[in-house]
Amino acid sequence: MLKLGEDEIVIKTFRKHWFLPAIKTVVMSILFVVPIVILLTLLDKTITTEFFEITFSLQKPSVAVFVISLWGLFLWLRFFSFWSDYNLDGWILTNKRVIDLEQHGFFKREMASFRLERLQDVTTEINGIVATFFKFGNVHVQTAGTDREFVLRFAADPTKIKETILKEHDRIIDSDMYHDADSVGSPR
């Protein structure tokens, strides 16, 4: 469970673009249907050539149903795995920090965060015509004092994410500078 500070408010949540899981869903659907179509197409068919003759017949339909069911179960687990990953990955921007949530498989979750005042650099990369057309790409954030670079892959509208984070970073920096300037010039 994500715990926020007392005066910490969630400003925006960033997620991966819908295009990647949609493509994976289409591929999984095709992979599920192809063996069934092949089985039904070749059922009780004879292929004859000059050198050999092959007859496809289903002697034990229960075995075919079992194998196709196992194949469907495997594909369902893969489907559930990448949809869970899609729904549980993301960034949460608060008024004080950015929280990076990363799901790996079903039982491993990583959570990292950095304070906005430690932000050094935000870059975006959009590679290819499909990514440009659908507006998705990667957002890279480098912070002061860490070797780790925070990356949100396949982010929806990475330029907007960059602008939102930088806007919130500027707000934090401006408010800190204002408070520092007040404390320097004020009598004690």
**Residue 1 falls inside a structural domain:** no
Q: Please say which residue of 85, 105, 124 terminates a domain.
A: 85
Domain range enclosing 69: 21-85
Are 103 and 61 part of one and the same domain? no
- Considering the domain architecture, whether residues 156 and 169 belong to the same structural domain is answered as yes
* Whether residue 47 is found in the same domain as residue 118: no
71-82 pLDDT, tens digit each: 999 999 999 988
176 pLDDT tier (thresholds 50, 70, 90) = low
Mean predicted lDDT score pLDDT of the chain: 84
Domains held by the chain: number? 2
Residue 148 is part of a domain; what is its CATH number?
Answer: 2.30.29.30
Q: Are residues 93 and 181 in the same domain?
A: yes
Based on the domain organization, do 103 and 50 belong to the same domain?
A: no
Q: Is residue 3 part of a domain?
A: no
CA distance 125 to 140: 8
Q: Which two tokens stand for residue 114?
A: 């950095």
Of 50, 85, 120, which closes a domain? 85
Of 50, 67, 85, the one marking the end of a domain is 85
Say if residue 77 is in the same domain as residue 126: no
In which band, very low, low, confident or very high, does the pLDDT at 67 lie, cut at 50, 70 and 90? Answer: confident
Same domain for 68 and 128: no
Are 30 and 108 in a shared domain?
no
Query: Whose CA is closest to 21, among 185, 170, 136?
Result: 136
Within this chain, do residues 69 and 99 fall inside the same structural domain, yes or no? no
Predicted TM-score of the model (pTM) = 0.73
pLDDT tier at 179, thresholds 50, 70, 90: low
| Helix or strand (DSSP H, E) at 98 | strand 97-104
Residues 6+ apart with CB under 8 A from 104: 85, 110
Which residues have a Cβ under 8 Å from the Cβ of 101 and sit 6 or more positions away? 2, 88, 89, 90, 91, 92, 109, 110, 111
In 3D, which of 36, 25, 92 has the Cα closest to residue 67?
A: 36
Residues 103-117: tens digit of each pLDDT: 888 888 888 888 888
Q: Answer yes or no: do 149 and 165 share one domain.
A: yes
Is residue 9 classed as helix, strand or coil in its secondary structure?
coil
Averaged over 155-161, what is the pLDDT?
93
Using the predicted structure, report yes or no on whether residue 167 has a pLDDT greater than 80: yes
Q: What is the pLDDT of residue 146?
A: 60
Q: What pLDDT score does 186 carry?
A: 47
Given this model, what pLDDT does residue 1 score? 63
Q: What is the pLDDT of residues 19-63, one digit of tens each?
A: 989 999 999 999 999 988 887 777 777 778 888 887 777 777 787
Mean pLDDT of 5-15: 88
- DSSP annotation of 100: E
Residue 187, pLDDT score: 46
Same domain, 77 and 166: no
The region of weakest confidence among 87-96, 102-111, 143-152 is 143-152
Classify residue 2: in a domain, yes or no.
no
Whether residue 99 is found in the same domain as residue 114 = yes
CA atoms within 13 A on the CB side of 131: 14
